[in-house]
Amino acid sequence: MTMPTATCDASGVTSSAERARRAAHALACYRTDAGPLSAAEAITDLVADIGHFCLENDLAYQYLLAQGVGHWRLEMTDPESVEPLPEVTITINERNPCEHL
């Protein structure tokens, strides 16, 4: 599957619509492999699978996830911004494995 070249607006900035199109393409590829999933299920499973990929490839998943969310937020505020990314914190509250006993 070949992905078309990204399009930018007159200022050279990739639009939100273009970013959404690229994400839709990635989800379509994922759903082809993963089976019949809703968009929400596919996003959830893909994000989890990326975590497994990071573990297998010695990548800092939570850091990369926070960076991605920071980029998304900054792009929503100002697509042309060169400001530092906003701080994103991801907290995982570990369940006690014996809690259900």
Is position 11 within any domain?
no
- Note the pLDDT tens digit of each residue in 6-65: 454 555 668 888 899 999 999 999 999 998 999 999 999 999 999 999 999 999 999 999
Domain check: are 45 and 64 in the same one?
A: no
Do 52 and 77 fall into the same domain? no
User: Does 41 fall in a domain?
Assistant: yes
**Do 33 and 46 share a domain, yes or no?**
yes
Q: How far is CA 21 from CA 68, 75, 95, 96, in A?
A: 17, 15, 37, 40
Domain for residue 74, yes or no? yes
Q: For residue 11, what pLDDT is reported?
A: 55
More confident: 33 or 96: 33
- Our count of domains for the chain comes to 2
- Give a yes or no: residue 10 inside a domain: no
Single pTM value for the model: 0.75
pLDDT at 89: 93
Residue 78: pLDDT band by 50, 70, 90 thresholds?
confident
Pairwise CA distance, residues 3 & 60, whole Å: 27
Residue 80: which residues within 8 A CB-CB, separation 6 or more? 11, 13
pLDDT computed for residue 8 by the predictor: 46
Indicate whether 41 and 64 sit together in one domain: no
2 falls within a domain: no
